[in-house]
Structure 1
Amino acid sequence: MSGRPARGAALVLVLWLIVLLTAVVGGYALVARTGHLQGRVETGQLQGDAVARAGLEYAVWRLNHPEPALRWHPDGRPYRWEYDGAQVEVRITDERGRVDLNRAPPQLLQALLQALGTDPGRAAALAAAIADWRGADGTPGPGAAGDAAYAAAGRAYGAKGAPFESAAELLQVLGIEPDDYRRLRPYVTVHSGLPQPEAAFAALPVLEALGVRDAALLVQLRGQAGGAGNPAAPDLQRPGADAASAAHLLQRAEGGAVRRGTYSIDSLARLPDGSRTVTRAVVRLQGTGAPGMAYMVLAWEEGASPQ
């Protein structure tokens, strides 16, 4: 009789050991599966980055394709390309088609903000604050936010009094909210050096800010010409001064001269599994300073959803 309690205790111990081993094996299996899934995600991200980078490199080459009729045009129209089973969509914008934060007058900045849906009164205040930020003397203009206003808002800095170094500096300007920056970012630059954008390369909100009457028609023509890179002949035959002006601007964007300017390139890669990766860069096709370099990188963002 004395041996039965010992045998019972041994049985309980064995059962607990089985439970413990099951937990250990289950935990190991979970860790292994998690690591496998993480590895797949990282591999997919690397593949997406490589495909998006290939799209950017291809876009640089197509900007100055040996055959002028096959060149891609830097006015923001989409170009689609297939690479290693992935779908790539590329948009190229000449930086001259964007509003330069360091050179644009406040009236143009206000018009752009209004074209993007900002209330006129607030648009005027934000435009003045942007102009004040880049001002050289630190003296606020009418309606602008001076250093005292920054201090009153609890910010440890005042207006910079120097040029914007990147568009992201807008987030430091008093009154600019993240949503304002998100809407402005695609249409502003610090690289053109122009007080007024070139309409031939500008997007619709910039065209509206410039007061171009044929803005919507021009954007429509770009979309129709996007795949082939050629003007959409049927629509160019539409009567009226607006159609003629739109055709002229479209043809300027499609000029055959060798391109050596500064361009923003967005390359969106869609992999067969449905994942997406974007590479965005601002590149200059001249003055690289190094033999064999096709371009100089001025700005670079990449990832699944770069900011």
Structure 2
Amino acid sequence: MRRQRGAALLIVLWLVALLTALVGAFALTARMEALQGRVGSRGAVAQEIARSGMEYALVRVADRNPETHWQPNGRAYTWTFDGHDVQVRIIDETGKVDLNQADVSLLSRLMQALGQPSDASDLIAAAIVDWRDADNLSQPVGGAEDGDYAAAGRDYGAKDASFETIAEVEQVLGMTPALYAQLAPFLTLYSGRGQPDATYAQGPVLAAMGMDATAWLAQRNATGVTGSNELVGTGSGTYSIESRARLADGREASLWTVVRAGASPVPGSAYTLLRWEEGAAPQ
């Protein structure tokens, strides 16, 4: 009997230890999930504030009052929402180089403005035009058609059709990840222009257009420039908007979009989303 009671006591002690371990594990899991939920909720709050910055930018860029109007020329604007800091930059898409419209010369000069050698820039620019044109003839300065892709071991040739995304240019023969990272912020598919609008162009694009970028940007950013009809406007209505939110606790979130202001196919929306990325601005 004593042995049976001892065995029963030992079993009870083991059960108590097991239950204690289970309760402890459950408590630890619950605490971790609570912390994860808190972190996730703060991240969601930061992301929504970044989105509010994007939507607020559309209101300010359409504002006709020169005192409160925001220019879509890449200038950084700071806004406070519910005690949190938001920094917003707006760039009109007409201030960028259109992949489907720009000629070899403009594309090459843009790459040169970003520090690429002239010979390599000419070849890659020609390959970009060969990618989108419908013929099988290379550009006078070089380029790349189907045979060149085959010789380079690529299992595809020139598309012979328009670019559908900016990232598609990475497939062009000669393009590298590093060069794409440099080019992407200055490229668009939405301007429909062979030449960018200098009113909204950034430094490398201005240089590619043969302008003195330093002097032009200084003039554009000068105090009182809002009185100039030449340098101020609401733009084309299609914008790249980068919105970065920073909460009071230090948490950050960023949003990078291309939007077209105005009527939208989505009921109740005042804009059409053309591109949307959360996190750092795309490279």
Same fold (TM over 0.5): yes
Partner of 1:304: 279
TM superposition shift of 1:177: 2.3
The size of the alignment, in residue pairs, is 281
- The Cα of 1:220 is off from its aligned counterpart by 4.4
Deviation of 1:78 (Å)? 0.3
Cα deviations by residue, 1:28-82 (Å, 9 ceiling, x for unpaired):
1232122112212321222122111111111111112142332100110000000
2:170 & 2:268 partners in 1: Cα distance?
37
With over 3 angstroms needed to count, the CA separation of the structure-2 counterparts of 1:26 and 1:113, relative to structure 1, is farther
Once the 2 structures are TM-superposed, how far is the Cα of residue 139 of structure 1 from its aligned partner?
2.7
After superposition, where does 1:234-245 map in structure 2 within 5 Å?
none
Structure 2 counterpart of 1:241: none
RMSD (CA atoms) = 2.7
Contact persistence 1:45–1:304 (CA under 8 A): no
Hey, what does 2:46 align to over in structure 1? 48
| Runs of 5+ consecutive residues of structure 2 not aligned to the other structure | none
1:136-187 superposed Cα distances (whole Å, 9 cap, x missing partner): 1133324212212323344332111111112111122222222222211110
Q: Aligned partners of 2:122, 2:258: CA distance in 1, in Å?
A: 29
Q: Is residue 73–residue 253 contact of structure 1 (8 Å, CA) maintained in 2?
A: no
Could you say what secondary structure the match of 2:101 adopts? Answer: coil
Within the candidate set 93, 99, 102, 1:101 is matched to 99
Counterpart in the other structure of 1:283:
259
Amino acid of the structure 1 residue aligned with 2:130? D
Q: 1:122 to 1:66 in 2, by over 3 A?
A: closer
Deviation at 1:216?
A: 1.9
Q: Residue in 1 aligned with 2:135?
A: 137
TM-score computed with the length of structure 2 as normaliser: 0.87
Measured after TM superposition, the shift of residue 8 of structure 1 is 5.4
Cα distance in 1 for partners of 2:155, 2:193 equals: 32
**2:175 & 2:228 partners in 1: Cα distance?**
34
Partner of 2:62: 64
Secondary structure in 1 matching 2:240:
strand
Cα distance change on mapping 1:140 and 1:24 into 2, 3 Å? farther
Task: Say if 2:92 and 2:235, in contact at 8 Å, map to a contact too.
Answer: no
Deviates most, 131-140 or 84-93: 131-140
How far 1:21 sits from its partner (Å)? 2.7
Structure 1: distance between partners of 2:256 and 2:81: 18
Identity %: 46
> For residues 40 and 250 of structure 1, what CA distance do their matches in structure 2 show?
49
Residue 243 of structure 1 corresponds to which residue in structure 2?
none
